[in-house]
Structure 1
Amino acid sequence: GLQALKTLLLSFNAIQKMEGLSELHMLERLDLSYNSIRRIEGLKGLLLLRDLDLSSNLLHRLEDVNVLKKYIPELVAVDLSGNPLCTYKTYRTLMLRRLSKLQQLDQSPVSDEDREGASDNTTTLTVQMIKDHAFSRRSTSMVAASISSIAQSAADDSWWRQVEEIVVEHQRVRRIQNLEKLTSLRRASFVDNELTRLEGLDFCTALEELGLKKLELGKNKISHLENLGALTSLTQLSVEDNEIESLAGLGELLCLMELYIGNNRLRRLREILVIRDLPKLIIVDLLGNPLCREEDYRLYTIYHLKKLKVLDGTGIEASEQSAARNKYAGRLSLETLESKVGHRHFESLRELDISGLRVRDAANCFQSPEFSGLQEINLDNNIVSDVQGFAHLPNLSVLRLGANRIGEGCRFDVNPYNSASPFAALQVLQLGQNSIASIERLGLSKLAALRSLFLQGNDITRIDGLEGLYSLQELVLDRNRIKYVDAGALDPVQNLRELRMEENGLRSLSNLGNLPHLQALHLGYNRISDTSEIERITGLKALLEITLMNNPVVRKQVYRAVLLGKLPMLRIIDGRDVTEEERDYVQSMYYANSAMMDGTAAPGLVLSGAYGAQSQQQQQQQKVPVKMTAVNFEQLAGSAAGGGMARGDDLAGPAVSGMGLELQGGGLNVMGQRGAALRPASNDRAPPAAGYVIGGRSVGNSGGPMARGSGRAVGGIGGKTRQMQQQQQHGGVGRR
């Protein structure tokens, strides 16, 4: 109903804010005089307005004139008389420059001379102006006059070095220049001018205090803080009542202790991060900036400016510092991300490294759709305990959370933001060095695309919870407490290519042999002690590399040979390549041993240990310790000429085993049942030769294969002596 309104009179009320006018598009005259209005605002859309009366209000910001120019530049008559802003010397000039169509200002007509005077050339800081306003801090204005006199009479420029202070206020200065020779300048004040830029201060290296108090350097039009990098000694900076939108340019002022920047246009809280590393900053005044209206503005500022003592004229209490730490310590924010990556174009971000930042909470940081392209996040060495803040990222393929606080309360099967499957694209998950005691409680079953899972350095005692990980190819479980692998524990990960379980205290290789595609198995620094355990992994037909170093089993002389015999596809054992010579040698030994077992080779070719014809279990059953008191090795070994005979009661210390004599401790182990005699070797299919069987194994001389023949038994148990019944051609019991 009021859209056609052309005149609106609201004078002599108690109106404090200009609002609700934007729909009055036909309005031509507006009278809001004699109210309590503090800001010129709410005029957008009033393009036909020609007459505006705001006299006798509380308008005090000279920059509000820019609002008139922006929204109603066609104004013909404006009355702002009776407002505080009219006291500025530049008020009338500024109004005439901003509103070129004005015919009446504050009830006074505007002449062509007034308009031309307002459009005069820019006033700059001249040498004469510097002479007239130069001071020494140790003196008064009388000295300033003497400096001017000296400057006029002296033939040189020595007076420049005597200037320590310059005060140029209320002079309509619009540009600073000619200060390069003031090398001793320590304080400069340009209050109430028309400055729009900070310039010409590069050479003032001793400057300590730059008094720009009410922007126009006190009440100027400065919009950017620039060209301050050379002022390394600056301790106090005042740029109040300007048009500054960013704190960029202050980060290099390492000596700055006091910053007064109230009544500007700072809108974003993250501007605080620009000055957070200033080591001496203890006083900051930001009142009158839009960012002060942000929620938790004060706590945010206190947290990031660690040494701050006074904020906006109010001292900082210990309780406020504590509340700020509780709220923001470890909390990942968009401001922190922007500071880390150097820009705010997160939609182009593919990789993000925020390791080592003590991040505790990142749940709310990645909700924005602009992070949908993120593919890799590195959060190593933080204090993260929950991962739900990343579950909805559709393209996240690598998530590194090493050395955090991931434990039982953390699950990967929950997406609190939408109905999509959590971590749908995740392929690499790094969870090493956390507090994980159970894989099952992590809820990994929905990570169908996962290819690599790192769980080293945790407290895991058993392998479980791998159901659903059909694509898993690499599993790292080093430095946990897994002493045994349960049956079927690895069945869900049949596509596994590499398994690492070093430093676990593992005692057996049971239930590791059902991984048809496994190519690398690393089990170093465990407690595998018997070569018979290798038999349990012979089903790993694709295995190319195995690591068992620093297990007791590697001290067996036949360790590598047994591995190659049982797993002939191996290429690397304990980090050392398998050579073709080694492979051929082992294969020939196994072939000879197999031939001996089926009777197609000479019976004298008997391999010791795992290469022998007797199983380890059979050997253990046949061992009988015999205590002896003396031994004659010459009689045992015989001689090439006559071949001596051994007496059973002379044996005391050596043990007859395998293919010769072995000294074991202080007694003799005779490989046979108690009371059994040493018998001649026999094999119906072998050619005749000399030899004996000791404990079920053929024993011959060192000269070649042993053959069937007759002879005497050597030594019964208990020290009885039996004479040899027949001398063999080479004589004696064969030695190794």
Structure 2
Amino acid sequence: MEDQSSRIPGENNGASEGGNVEENSLSYLDLTSYQLHDLDGIELPPSLIELDLTTNRLSTLDPRIALLAQLKKLSLRQNLFDDAGIEPISRWDSISGLQELVLRDNRLTKIPDASIFKSLLVFDISFNEIPSLNGLSKVSNTLKELYVSKNEVTKIEELDHFHELQILELGSNRLRVMENLQNLTHLQELWLGRNRIRTVNLCGLRCIKKLSLQSNRLTSMLGFQDCVALEELYLSHNGISKMEGLSTLANLHVLDVSSNKLTTINDIENLTRLEDLWLNDNQIASLEGIDSAVAGSREKLTTIYLENNPCVWFL
């Protein structure tokens, strides 16, 4: 609501024209992109529910944040926080009702202690320098979205208690094996692009709707057969030579197998809901049989992308 949100509070403390809106009625404060080194001189109304400090120059936490007892969302994205700078938040019991904590794009080398946040739903520690998921076991089992992309993580671990997790982002790390996912029975989105994974292992998960394994080291598409709820599958930039294991994925809308080593189009006859099919940058020599391959999805299919294949060089 416009009368409850503000940029840096001015002299009127957010008062609207023709009326008095007291500062303690402010629920959302957006201080994005002010290049602030600290929050000196900026009022933090005790009624704040959301505080956005994205893209500043902060390296220490203002202790007044600890007094915002109604705070639900806190974004410290793209600042200069290191482990010591963020550590005080682990003792701020007054804001233990926090539901969303964003520490993306800072200078962290370990997962902060977030154990006091018993209702946490979203935790984002992407774009840091974290080598291990050690510490996630202390994060509340209420978590629904976890983002740890662009770090230096080598092993999937300490996720067993996240029974309500719906989104897991671990792209751009150093993972070699898909493991320890079996308890994430409500997981709907799994993002593992830009790792070093060679084999698909979804540990029996069946509810996933979006899955990305782009830019890994896959040579086979086998392993997705049981993911019958899958709607989007991204496998570009791997070493896959054969389309297979797709016939059970009746709910698939998007299939991206571009930049692989495919020579033919196979196993998509049953994909009647397919809308986008990305096959560019492969080694498909002929369009023969493509009509029958996409016959089942003809009513839904809007995109077939075949650029940079031998079959289109002379068209």
2:205 to 447, 460, 463: 447
Closer/same/farther in 2, CA of residues 545 and 274 from structure 1, 3 Å limit: closer
Asked if the contact 1:451/1:472 (under 8 Å) is kept, the reply is yes
Q: CA deviation at 1:536?
A: 4.6
Q: What is the distance in 2 between the residues matched to 1:413 and 1:388?
A: 9
Q: CA deviation at 1:468?
A: 2.4
Closer/same/farther in 2, CA of residues 353 and 274 from structure 1, 3 Å limit: closer
1:494 to 250, 261, 276: 250
- 1:116-147 superposed Cα distances (whole Å, 9 cap, x missing partner): xxxxxxxxxxxxxxxxxxxxxxxxxxxxxxxx
Counterpart position of 1:237: none
Q: CA deviation at 1:405?
A: 1.5
2:219 to 441, 444, 461: 461
Closer/same/farther in 2, CA of residues 539 and 275 from structure 1, 3 Å limit: closer
Instruction: Name the SS of the counterpart of 1:273 in structure 2.
Output: helix
* 2:203 equivalent to 1:437: no
Counterpart position of 1:411: 179
Closer/same/farther in 2, CA of residues 470 and 538 from structure 1, 3 Å limit: closer
Q: What is the distance in 1 between the residues matched to 2:284 and 2:251?
A: 25
* 2:199 equivalent to 1:424: no
Give the aligned residue type for 1:473: E
- 1:233-261 superposed Cα distances (whole Å, 9 cap, x missing partner): xxxxxxxxxxxxxx9889xxxxxxxxxxx
Closer/same/farther in 2, CA of residues 351 and 515 from structure 1, 3 Å limit: same
1:388 to 138, 145, 157: 157
Give the aligned residue type for 2:295: G
Give the aligned residue type for 1:435: R
Give the aligned residue type for 2:84: L
1:244-643 equivalences under 5 Å are 273-274=84-85, 330-334=109-113, 346-368=117-139, 371-408=140-177, 410-414=178-182, 422-439=183-200, 442=201, 444-486=202-244, 489-541=245-297, 542-557=300-315
Asked if the contact 1:403/1:431 (under 8 Å) is kept, the reply is yes
Asked if the contact 1:508/1:533 (under 8 Å) is kept, the reply is no
> TM-score, length-normalised on structure 1?
0.28
Asked if the contact 1:445/1:465 (under 8 Å) is kept, the reply is no
Name whichever of 453-462 and 468-477 sits farther off. Answer: 468-477
Closer/same/farther in 2, CA of residues 349 and 552 from structure 1, 3 Å limit: same
Give the aligned residue type for 1:273: A
Counterpart position of 2:49: none
Instruction: Name the SS of the counterpart of 2:288 in structure 1.
Output: helix
Asked if the contact 1:376/1:397 (under 8 Å) is kept, the reply is yes
- 1:458-485 superposed Cα distances (whole Å, 9 cap, x missing partner): 1101111113212111110000011222
Q: What is the distance in 1 between the residues matched to 2:62 and 2:225?
A: 55
- 1:28-81 superposed Cα distances (whole Å, 9 cap, x missing partner): xxxxxxxxxxxxxxxxxxxxxxxxxxxxxxxxxxxxxxxxxxxxxxxxxxxxxx
Q: What is the distance in 2 between the residues matched to 1:523 and 1:412?
A: 31
Closer/same/farther in 2, CA of residues 483 and 345 from structure 1, 3 Å limit: same
Closer/same/farther in 2, CA of residues 248 and 458 from structure 1, 3 Å limit: closer
Q: CA deviation at 1:333?
A: 3.3
Q: What is the distance in 2 between the residues matched to 1:392 and 1:382?
A: 22
Give the aligned residue type for 1:366: S
Q: CA deviation at 1:378?
A: 1.1
How many residues of Structure 1 are paired with residues of Structure 2 in the alignment? 217
Instruction: Name the SS of the counterpart of 1:531 in structure 2.
Output: coil
Instruction: Name the SS of the counterpart of 2:138 in structure 1.
Output: coil
Asked if the contact 1:510/1:536 (under 8 Å) is kept, the reply is no
Closer/same/farther in 2, CA of residues 468 and 362 from structure 1, 3 Å limit: same
- 1:706-727 superposed Cα distances (whole Å, 9 cap, x missing partner): xxxxxxxxxxxxxxxxxxxxxx
Richer in helix (by share)? 1
Give the aligned residue type for 1:377: L
> TM-score, length-normalised on structure 2?
0.61
Q: CA deviation at 1:498?
A: 1.1
Q: What is the distance in 1 between the residues matched to 2:184 and 2:86?
A: 37
Give the aligned residue type for 2:279: L
Asked if the contact 2:86/2:112 (under 8 Å) is kept, the reply is no
Where does structure 2 lack aligned partners over 5 or more consecutive residues?
A: 1-39, 41-59, 64-82, 88-107
Where does structure 1 lack aligned partners over 5 or more consecutive residues?
A: 1-228, 230-246, 251-271, 277-328, 338-343, 415-421, 558-736
Asked if the contact 2:247/2:268 (under 8 Å) is kept, the reply is no
Q: CA deviation at 1:526?
A: 1.3
- 1:380-425 superposed Cα distances (whole Å, 9 cap, x missing partner): 11122222312321221111011112213x41444xxxxxxx1021
Q: Which has the higher contact order (CA 8 A, sep 6+)?
A: 2
Q: CA deviation at 1:553?
A: 2.2
Asked if the contact 2:153/2:173 (under 8 Å) is kept, the reply is yes
